[in-house]
Amino acid sequence: MIKHLFLGFLLLLVNVNIVAQDKPLNIVVFGAHPDDCDIDAGGTAILFAQMGHKVKFVSLTNGDAGHYAKGGGVLAKIRMAEAQEAGKRFGVTYTVLDNHDGELLPTLENRLKVIREIRKWNADLVIAPRPNDYHPDHRYTGILIQDAAYMVIVPNVAADTPPLKKNPVFVYSHDNFKRPNPFQPDIAINIDSVFDQKIYALAAHESQFFEWLPWTNGSLSEVPSDDKERLQWLSKWRASPLDEATQKSLDKWYGDKAKTIKRAEGFQICEYGKQPSDEEIKKLFPMLGKD
C-alpha cells in the first residue's frame, strides 16, 4: 500500500514537472513607436508564437508625428490600424499607448503604465531598447523600462495592479551605437526560417516603410508600387549582414550550425531584473540551438 502511494506520488511529481515545462512563456516587447518592436524582435517573436508562447508588443507612443504629409489624430489612427494588422501577421498581441510621438518623457505616470503592462502580461521576459539612441523617444523608452525593472515586484507601486511574484529577465534589443559602450549580444537568435514572414509583417506598417522612412533618407522615389516588389525591396533594405559580435554569440548557442546562419536578432542581458544562467537562457529562448 505504502509502495503504491509512493509510486503515485512520484508519478504526480513527474506530471507536475511536465506541465511546468510545457507552460507557455509570457514575453513583452517594448518600443517607442508602432513598428519598433517589429524591427527589433519580430523574427524572435514569430518563433516564440510558433512554439505556443504568448508575445505582446507595446508601443509607448501612438506615432502621430512620424510622417511628411500626415499627422495628429489622422496619422495615429493609421498607425494603430497598421500595428493591429502587423500583430496578426506576427502572431502577437499589439498595444499602442496614447502618448504623443516625439514627446515621450520618463515621467512617473509613464513608468506606472510600463509597470502595469509588464504585470498584466505576467512577463517572464521583457525586451526593450537600450537608452543609447539618436531619438529621444527611443532613449526614454529604455530608461522607462529600466526604471520599472525592480518596481514590478513592489506591491505598493502601481498598487491597483497585482505585483509579479518574481522579477522577469530584462534584455536589450540590438543597436549599433558605440558610446558610452557598444551593444553586446549575449544571446543571438537564428531567424532565417521566419525572415520572410518578418518582412511581410513589417510591410503592414505601410506609412512607415513605404512612405515616412524612405522620405527621411531620400529614397521615396525608389519605393515600388507593386506589392510583391515592395516586399523584395523591403527585404533587401532590412537584410543587414551579421556583425562579428553577433556571429560569435551564434557560435556559442548554435555550434557548427552557426556557420550557415544569415539572419539573426541579438539581445543583451540587462543588469537589472533577474540574472539568468545559460541553462535559464535556454529555457527562456527555447528556440536556441534549433534550425
Please, are residues 39 and 202 in contact by the beta-carbon 8 Å criterion?
yes
Cell 517589429 sits at which residue? 38
The answer to whether residue 73 is domain-embedded is yes
Question: Cell numbers of 261, please?
Answer: 546562419
What is the number of domains present in the chain? 1
Q: Is residue 209 part of a domain?
A: yes
- The answer to whether 42 touches 90, Cβ cutoff 8 Å, is yes
The answer to whether residue 10 is domain-embedded is no
Cα(128)–Cα(146) distance, integer angstroms: 9
Q: What is the CATH number of the domain that holds 225?
A: 3.40.50.10320
Nearest to 75 by CA among 102, 49, 94: 102
DSSP letter for 194, please: G
DSSP secondary structure code for residue 124 in this structure: S
The sign of the CA dihedral 51, 84, 141, 202 is positive
Instruction: Determine if the peptide bond prior to 180 is cis (ω within 30°).
Output: yes
DSSP letter string, 224-280: -SSHHHHHHHHHHHH-PPPPHHHHHHHHHHHGGGGGG---EEEEEEEEEE----HHH
Instruction: Give residue 104's pLDDT.
Output: 98
CA end-to-end span of the chain = 48
Reading the block at residue 193, the C-alpha cell is: 526560417
**d(Cα 175, Cα 185) in Å, to the nearest integer?**
10
Residue 39: inside a domain, yes or no?
A: yes
**Residues 197 and 144 sit within 8 Å (Cβ to Cβ):** no
The percent of residues above 90 in pLDDT, for the chain, comes to 91
Q: Is residue 100 part of a domain?
A: yes
The range of the structural domain enclosing residue 117 comes to: 25-177+184-284
- pLDDT tens string 257-270: 999 999 999 999 99
What pLDDT, in 10s, does the model give residues 33-86? 999 999 999 999 999 999 999 999 999 999 999 999 999 999 999 999 999 999
Is residue 2's pLDDT more than 90? no
* CB burial of residue 101 (10 Å; 0-12, 13-18, 19+): buried
114 domain residue, yes or no: yes
What is the pTM assigned to this prediction? 0.91
User: Would 3 be classed as within a structural domain?
Assistant: no
